Structure 1
Amino acid sequence: MPVVFKDSLEHIIAKGSEYLSEGDLDLIRRAYEFTASSFKRIRLLRMSGEPAIIHPIAVAETLVDWRMDGATIAAGILHDVIEDPKISEYQLHATFKDEVSFLIEGVTKLRKFELKTDVDADTAYHHRIFLSAASDIRVAIIKLADRLHNMHTLRHLPRQKQINNCVETQKIFIPLARFLGMKDVKDAYEDIVLKFMNEEGFLHAEEAFAYAHEKEEPFFTRTGGALHQAMCDAGISSRIVRTDYNLAHFHDECMNAAPLSGEMLSGFLTVVVNDDSECYPALGVVHSLYEHLKGSFDDHLQFETADIKRWLETRVHDRGVPFKIRVMTEEMYDVNRRGIIPYLSEPSKLKRTDFLEKRLSEIHDIMHKMRSQGEPSAVEYMTADLFRNEIFVITEKQDRISLPPESTVLDYAYHLDRNTADQFKRAVVNTRPVSIGYRLRSCDKVEIRTDPNASPSVEWLSFVRTPYARSCIMQRLKERPRKHARNDGREHLMKAVNRIGLVHSGQAGELESLIFPVAEFLQMKSLNEFYEAIGYGEIGIEDAISALRAQRKRSAMLSPEQMLPLIPSHPVFARAYDANTITSDKPFRGPVHVCESCSPVPGDAIVMRTAGRKNMLHRMDCRTLSRRAFWSRKSTVSWGQALNAFFPVRLRLKVFRQEDTHRKIRETITENNARFVTIKADAHSVDGLEMLEVILEIADASMLSSIESQILSLKDVVVAIRI
């Protein structure tokens, strides 16, 4: 046997002998010999300069700590030998049994899982990981252990590779660890990502956490002792654990948020009891000892969390200091930290495995649905549905199902049964009828009512959030004749444009005048083709409306009458400015005023007209300067030191009438550090659009230009122009 790092191997063998058979230990030894010989031959080194064998040994040590089976540990040791050009797939099959070879291929040969859509190389790689994991969950476990050691040695990589690995870990491995309930692994990933992606934030969080931990130690010691004594007095055998947050959680939730005054920041207390039957009595002891904060109790014994955690959680306060307590059994404490691992390694020792079995089943179901779609939505479906935050709803049969947040009753119907959902008529939630677009919340009880004559319409696409439901609806829509799709698309589009006032007359002719250039841009031969694309769901109604809005903006113009002020002689235009605001080729006395008609700002070409002791600034293109008398008294000037000065301007807008349009305009102005003064609407609409005048104060022309373009980019704004 090669002597390279033999001591590390013997450590693995010694630890593995606690639970593995002699045959499994022999398999691990052979895997080590094979890998060490290969690495020695091709002289592989890691970026740290250390022999490459260190990495597979570290992966194997992690897998042994997780008490994985011999085949998984052997595959963890062998997963990098594919780098050796002299080792083939057939050699691996000949040397090791099929199970080990299968796992190695799942980890290393991800290209065999071909996606049915064109995606970038990184996305394809990420999703092949999921496909391979679906074939055997142990592939995912090996990949997680592999990534864990790579992240722990990230400091040896060039900066760009550090960033790439951190981004990939955020996108793929943190959600994967969360989905499998592996909190310890997820926390380790998150802390390392924070360290390398935000070093300043990491160091700040590290320092702040150490301070909070030390400061809160007396409180937790005293409270934990009192709680343990109360449990003993109640005849409940327990241990009290101070549970610390990881640094990434502390950084995101405690440093960047505003927790309740005086709340414990570094962690919480966990009451660990022996049996499920003791959890609720233990909670009663907690609430008898401390005052419960209303609305802060979560029961996750019956319905586990999205990351398959089980506990009772309550927030209480002791002498005015709020803090969190969780109650769980020893088994829950282990599963909450290690997730699916106890089920894979020692299932016979678990009292309850149903929710862990269901999580594994969910992975296979998601992959099956994804593969069955055969459309570009496959990748989207997997990303959206596999690593989701979840809501839990109750079926008519009192079963619990999980859905992504914001899911509607129509999403729920398609999740249950596609054929039933196609005949959707209405839904009843918590005994009350709801609309088709009702967004579900956790613990809602849902009933679906069907109609044999009902069928999906293009409007249904507006009421679903999950890619799977959207894909099912689109498949049914494509089965319809073109004539039906065309009529449905036209009707749906007309309803939408009338609702927002996009077409003033509400007649098809005016709408079609907007559609023609859009359809031509999309290389469609006719309006009917445009309507059919909407009817088949190929063009979303929101996308169609956005394109028609843009076309309306391109064709909109203001008449000279529409350029006249709606708010004449506003006091903000009477402000006087210091003489240092400008520099002049002629001496002048007194303050400087700006012309209300043209409202010049720094950056504009300007002239100054003097009448008596009043000095009036004008833009060079000011219409009042057309009178010859003004030019006879003008001076050539330029902008001087207008420090911290703001100047008034007018904007004329044409907008679609929407409730929040005025608010969005005000927010755009203030977000650019300008000052909003007032807004006024014309009493008479023009072409079905609302005419607005906005007065604001700005620092210079560049600020005004930025505000104009941002206001014009708002979907309800057709024209935004300075007057």
Structure 2
Amino acid sequence: MISDDDLIALVRNYNPKTNEALIREAYAYGRDMHEGQLRHSGEPYFTHPVAVAAILTEQRLDDATIITALLHDTIEDTRASYADVTERFGEEVASLVDGVTKLTNLQLSSTETKQAENFRKLFMAMSRDLRVILVKLADRLHNMRTIRAMKTEKQAQKARETMDIYAPLAGRMGMQWMREELEDMAFRVLNPEGRSSIIRRFITLQKETGDVIHRITGDMRKELEKAGIEAEVFGRAKKPYSIWRKMQEKEVGFSRLSDIYGFRIITQSDMDCYRTLGAIHQRWSAVPGRFKDYVSQPKTNGYRSIHTTVSGRDGKRVEVQIRTRQMHDVAETGVAAHWSYRDGVRTQNPFAVDPAKWIASLTEQFETEEDHEDFLETVKLEMYSDQVFCFTPKGEVIKLPKGATPLDFAYAIHTRIGHACVGAKVDGLRVPLWTRVKNGQSVEIITAEGQTPQATWLDIATTGKARSAIRRALREQDRERFVRLGHELARAAFEHVGRKVSDKVIETAARNLRIPNANELLARLGSAEISTRAVVQAVYPDLVPEEGEEIDPARAVIGLQPGQSFRRGTCCQALPGERIVGITYRGEGVVVHKIDCDRLADFEDQTDRWLDLHWSEGNHAAGYVVTLDLTIGNDAGVLGRICTLIGQNKANISDLEFLDRKPDFYRLYANVELRDTEHAHSLLTALEAESDVAQVTRVQEETKIGARAENG
């Protein structure tokens, strides 16, 4: 374990003005609080907080952060209290320790709903003080370095959580070195065979090609000397997980993966970065599409560097990063550079971003998400995103994540532009909205008045901002549709009891049902959250019979002779609520028809067979089959959505028969089981309001025969 003197020496290397006494006191206090506690490895527990503090000294962090690392488990795991820490070390340190304690208790790998809520808490803690997450990341890094002492199942859980959450979060904060180390240690646990195979192939490659890194760094230094450029050149083989991920993404074997070496050139000035780029491209061939200029267009976390990939005469590709020393410091520590010290003062690095602004940009779109799964998806999209830079026709730069589309570009400009988007041009050529934009392209968005977001856009958009805006707009559109549908359902329901619907009637119903306003009532009615029966009863309780048990289907019709049975005619499929008559058949009972059924014309001269019937008053079971003739759009997921809509309206589909299939539409018969005419009207209105339904009607048997003849 590092002693207090050694830890203070590490801090003094970059901060000679450090408060040695306070760090020494925190060291002693933490050691006393953890006295007698052991880690899984059997070591004294306090070795862990000390190691975390040492990791943070590598980033040259301030005294408050180092002390927080020493105490980060005291409030949770010892007799120490918030008040005690505040009294000894001040409010700033106590608040940071408390923040780390709360993060430790978050189960970020739990169920999706709980995970999303815990992600909210994570970002809230980050927004209060980003140093909390810096300590937590260092804590996770040391735990992963010592993970072999844990039980096997615990190792797998921690490794998965690290791979899914902490590693990408470190990368998003600009701490690429930490991301790579976390990923590689998690990879060692989750796929030890895969990692071993990569290492074995590396060893074989080195035997075949010799020391490639030494040879290429030597060649680069010579080229820079020729050009009169002072710079440092470093080379390294990429981490096993980084190579494994490239193999998976590109679906190629190790032997075909060429850019497995990375080189870094650190120059004296911005101008030297571009001079170095020229010298490298003169000596080696640049690989098309593999150039990124993050110097002129920095990432949001402050990262600046020029990236290029070049290939030599042997065809081997290598990646080269070119940056200044100040850019390199930010690239190593990312957002943490804001708190870095050098020679006793906080480093005034011009490339270090303001943490408050950075966290505000990161959390802006999260705050608008109401749905847990939407929020979780947005967080993960943003954490994993790399960036591309595109231009508006006026030359303004728009930053987007890798894989973004013109639709994302439109929403990045303004939500209003995104909603009105009908097309796009990339570099002057019209392209589909699902096209992936690339670095340096000019994108022009074509808009149209009256355009509204489509549900299919969710499959096209990739950014959290765009997807959130589309979902909000679709929810609002659904609400408008539900209000219209609710009004139609209310009209039919009130007419059914001999009353007319009006604004005053709806307002009265809303007031009596304790619903905020008339529109909210109609929206709930249209979305089937409340029933038409409840709405009518709220205004005219005497006109609505009390709900009781469902009517026995065998006794659903009144007017039959004792012992007579009945069945519904398949020609007209009469429903409770419709006027009906019966036609008697010797030995077959009675067939029930609607009063306007065309088949009744066949019995005009047989009046002795007619019976005057009517349906029993009350609640009928949803067991009366009606055939619907549907014409729907031929798009992915449409049929599923229509079936779901029918189910949401409490109707069961007993049979589907496809009549016609065209590139742009389907025509089909759907047999649905309904209760009565009100149920049928409600379902038909809902289907007519659905944008994917071109036409829907109830059919007669003659219509069925005609349709089959046309298509058969």
Q: The TM-score by the shorter chain falls in which range?
A: 0.5 to 0.7
The 3 A distance-change label for structure 1 pair 223 and 340 is: same
**Matched letter for residue 239 of structure 2:** N
Given residue 192 of structure 1, which amino acid in structure 2 is its aligned partner? M
Identify the residue that residue 33 of structure 1 maps to in structure 2: 28
Residues 599-639 of structure 1, C-alpha deviation per residue, up to 9 Å, x if partnerless? xxxxxxxxxxxxxxxxxxxxxxxxxxxxxxxxxxxxxxxxx
Please identify, of 225-234 and 131-140, the stretch whose mean Cα deviation from structure 2 is larger: 225-234
| 1:344 is aligned to 2:339 | yes
Query: What is the alpha-carbon root mean square deviation over aligned residues?
Result: 4.3
| SS of structure 1 residue aligned to 2:86 | helix
CA distance in 1, matches of 2:466, 2:257: 43
Q: Is the 8 A contact 1:306 1:389 kept in 2?
A: no
Partner residue in 1 for 2:123:
130
Aligned length in residues: 518
Partner of 1:357: 353
Q: Alpha-carbon deviations, 1:65-101, whole Å to 9, x = none?
A: 2110000011111110023453222222222212111
Residues 324, 171 of structure 1: alpha-carbon distance in 2 compared, 3 angstrom cutoff: closer
Superposition TM-score, scaled by structure 1 size: 0.62
Question: 1:654-673 maps to which residues of 2 (within 5 A)?
Answer: none
1:10 maps onto 2:5 in alignment: yes
Aligned to 2:380: 383
Structure 1 residues 78 and 321, CA, compared in 2 at 3 Å: closer, same or farther?
closer
Tell me how far apart the structure 1 counterparts of residues 368 and 654 of structure 2 sit (CA, whole Å): 43
1:579 is matched with none
Contact preservation (8 Å) 1:243, 1:269? yes
The question of whether the paired residues in 2 share the 8 Å contact of 1:316 and 1:325 is answered with: no
Instruction: Provide the C-alpha distance between the structure 1 equivalents of 2:117 and 2:12, rounded to a whole number of angstroms.
Output: 39
Moved more, 254-263 or 436-445: 254-263
Deviations, residues 414-461 of structure 1 (Å, cap 9, x unaligned): 33333555555765544556666665443333455667x646355575
Q: Distance in 1 between matches of 2:111 and 2:198?
A: 41
Alignment correspondent of 2:640: 546
Q: Would you say 1:274 and 2:268 are equivalent positions?
A: yes
The secondary structure found in structure 1 opposite 2:297 is coil
| 1:330 counterpart residue number | 325
Q: Quick one: distance in 2 between partners of 1:32 and 1:120?
A: 39
1:338 to partner: Cα distance: 3.4
What CA deviation, in whole Å up to 9, does each residue of 1:139-188 have, x standing for no partner?
Answer: 11111100000000100000110000001001111111111121211111
How far apart are residue 249 of structure 1 and its match?
A: 1.7
| CA shift digits 1:308-333 (9 cap, x unpaired) | 35124131213554444443333334
| Distance (whole Å) between structure 2 residues aligned to residue 106 and residue 230 of structure 1 | 50
SS of equivalent residue, structure 1 residue 170: helix
Question: Residue deviations 1:335-363, cap 9 Å, x none?
Answer: 33433333431498979645x42786343
Corresponding position of 2:182: 189
> Could you say which residue in structure 1 is the equivalent of 2:655?
555
Please name the residue that 2:97 is paired with: 104
Per-residue deviation, 1:244: 1.8
Q: Is the CA contact (8 Å cut-off) linking 2:290 and 2:307 kept in structure 1? A: no
- Counterpart Cα distance in 1 of 2:667 and 2:470: 39
Distance 2:383 2:267 in 1: 33
Amino acid aligned to 1:383: K
Q: Offset of 1:274 from its aligned partner?
A: 2.0
Q: 1:436 to 1:25 in 2, by over 3 A?
A: same
- Distance in 2 between residues matched to 1:349 and 1:88, nearest whole Å: 30
Q: Which residue of 1 aligns with 2:252?
A: 258
CA displacement at 1:35 relative to structure 2: 1.2
Correspondent of 1:303 among 276, 297, 301: 297
- Quickly say closer, same or farther: Cα 1:473–1:200, change in 2 above 3 A: closer
Inter-partner Cα distance in structure 2 for 1:73 and 1:290: 45
Tell me, yes or no, if the aligned pair for 2:167 and 2:179 is still in contact at 8 Å: yes
What do residues 361-396 of structure 1 show as CA deviations (whole Å, max 9, x unaligned)? 343233243224444333333232343233332345
Q: Secondary structure at the match of 1:51?
A: coil
Residue matched to 1:570: none
Structure 1, unaligned stretches of length 5 or more?
A: 490-518, 527-540, 559-653, 660-684, 690-723
Aligned twin of 2:39: 46
Q: Partners of 1:366 and 1:112 in 2: how far apart?
A: 23
Q: Is the 8 A contact 2:411 2:466 kept in 1?
A: yes
Selected match of 2:223 from 225, 230, 233: 230
Alpha-carbon offset, residue 471 of structure 1: 3.6
CA contact (8 A) 2:403 2:437 kept: yes
Distance 1:111 1:350 in 2: 30
3-state SS of paired residue (1:242): strand
3-state secondary structure, aligned to 1:72 = helix
Counterpart of 1:331, as a letter, is: Q
Q: Tell me, in whole angstroms, the C-alpha distance in 1 between the residues paired with 2:327 and 2:114.
A: 39
Range with bigger deviation, 385-394 or 64-73? 385-394
Equivalent residues in 2 for 1:609-648, closer than 5 Å: none
Q: Which of the numbers 141, 157, 164 marks the counterpart of 2:150? A: 157
**1:706 matched to which residue of 2?**
none
| Equivalent in the alignment of 1:77 | 70
In 2, the alpha carbon distance for the partners of 1:178 and 1:54 equals 27
1:369 aligned to 2:365? Answer: yes
The share of aligned pairs that are identical, in percent, is 25
Change (3 A) 1:542 1:25: farther
Query: Could you tell me how far apart the structure 2 residues matched to 1:458 and 1:220 are?
Result: 52
Q: Which amino acid aligns with 2:72?
A: H
